[in-house]
Amino acid sequence: MTDYQSDLLRLLNDRGYIHQLTDATGLDALASKQVVPGYIGFDATAPSLHVGSLVQIMMLRRLQQAGHKPIVLMGGGTTKVGDPSGKDESRKMLSAADIEANIESIRRIFDNFLAFGDGPADAVLVNNADWLDKLNYVDMLRDIGPHFTINRMLTFESVKLRLDREQPLTFLEFNYMILQAYDFRELANTQDCKLQLGGSDQWGNIVNGIELGRRMDGKQLYGLTTPLIATADGGKMGKTAKGAVWLNADQLPPYDYWQFWRNTQDADVGRFLRLFTDIELGEIARLEALEGSEINEAKKVLADAATAMAHGEGAAKDAAATAQKTFEQGQVGGDLPVFETTDDEISILNALVSIGFCASKGEAKRMVAGGGARVDDEQVKDAGFMVSLSNEDRKISAGKKKHGLLRKIN
């Protein structure tokens, strides 16, 4: 079904968010006649979310734009367990204090994307530790356990992935899908939540929650998943040589964030404009039709819009100005990444690794051998080259798109 009647499903469909729906007709009818509260869960495994979570954040934004209520669920409880979905190994256990600190850091991200308040369509943020931490284990086994069979749980991709690769799946993690289902039931009862949204890897967990709500409370609940967001060459969205593309400015400077979007592959520009910006669809169609060098203008529009949404208009303008100085005018922009050292000199290999342009000295050596390393726009051909440092910054470049500053400090 693609001939949707509700503003919500039309918006999500037109911008490319819909992969699977549990009951398209039912959700479309419900969204046409009332405000639909919908939620997505985010575990607090780090002080920031990264670009891999951005499509989910944007889904909540679309929900609000269509007049419905976003519920941001922070996994203060489930982070203590660990979601095995998409993972082939157990993740490090965090203390309660670490989890709480991460939640406080992450919640600032959502202020840039959603309007919070007490109105019917205002966003709210809740923490599943508020109910999961209070559960009595025996009571939960008795009340919730009968609605889950081991036979069915073993069929979920998150479980099969671990077993097929002969990787350990702890009993703790095996419980995650039960806790996520319980979250949906809890939100349905306390927040009148009707819809859970998530990535395609969450389909099984979402269906579990819908089933639990129906069996225990007789409620009609809905689920919607997004497609896996990969780049045109099949790579994972948000993975770079420098690591994850974080959404918090203290984890990743706005200039680096802007540059990530500016480096989007030509074939991804239109899709990313639809998913990650509010630019009107007609204008997106014009931008993605540009060819040759003109497509770079569309990439700048994408970078400006995405950075303004995450970090504000001022940060986006500063990043664009720095890029123009660096790339087009040959000057040194003020927002470039900086590596500081007290040493009088640094090897070109250490410099490339320390500033984050290469993941290892081996990769840096290949960069030099391939002619991609430059200091003050002069090509460096010797892997043993030492960069002398004084009171003035030295510009270091890797390829045509990565530029930074080497700075001596006293």
**Cα(362)–Cα(310) distance, rounded to whole angstroms?**
34
- At 279, the amino acid letter reads I
- At 64, the amino acid letter reads Q
Does the model's pTM come out above 0.85?
no
State the pLDDT at residue 170. 65
Contact assessment for residue 398 and residue 406, using Cβ atoms and an 8 Å cutoff? no
Burial of 407 (0-12, 13-18, 19+ CB in 10 A): middle
State the pLDDT at residue 140. 73
**Cα(78)–Cα(177) distance, rounded to whole angstroms?**
10
Characterize the bridge pairing of strands 195-199 and 37-43. parallel
Tokens of 368: 């030099």
User: 3-class DSSP state for residue 392?
Assistant: coil
Smallest Cα–Cα separation from 268: which of 243, 242, 303, 244?
Answer: 303
Mean per-residue pLDDT pooled into runs of 10, the chain (410 residues) = 90 97 97 98 93 96 98 92 54 82 95 96 96 80 74 71 69 76 95 96 90 94 94 75 82 90 92 98 96 91 97 92 70 70 90 91 92 87 88 80 81
State the pLDDT at residue 135. 85
Contact assessment for residue 291 and residue 273, using Cβ atoms and an 8 Å cutoff? no
Tokens of 7: 């503003």
- At 288, the amino acid letter reads E
Burial of 153 (0-12, 13-18, 19+ CB in 10 A): middle
**Cα(304)–Cα(295) distance, rounded to whole angstroms?**
14
How distant, in Å, are the alpha carbons of 144, 208, 295 from that of 149? 11, 11, 52
**Cα(398)–Cα(371) distance, rounded to whole angstroms?**
9
Residue with token string 């169609």:
285
Contact assessment for residue 36 and residue 28, using Cβ atoms and an 8 Å cutoff? no
| DSSP secondary structure letter of residue 384 | T
Q: Give Dmax over CA atoms of the chain in angstroms.
A: 72
Contact assessment for residue 226 and residue 199, using Cβ atoms and an 8 Å cutoff? yes
Characterize the bridge pairing of strands 378-379 and 37-43. unpaired
CA 335, 341, 342, 347 torsion: positive or negative? negative
State the pLDDT at residue 404. 85
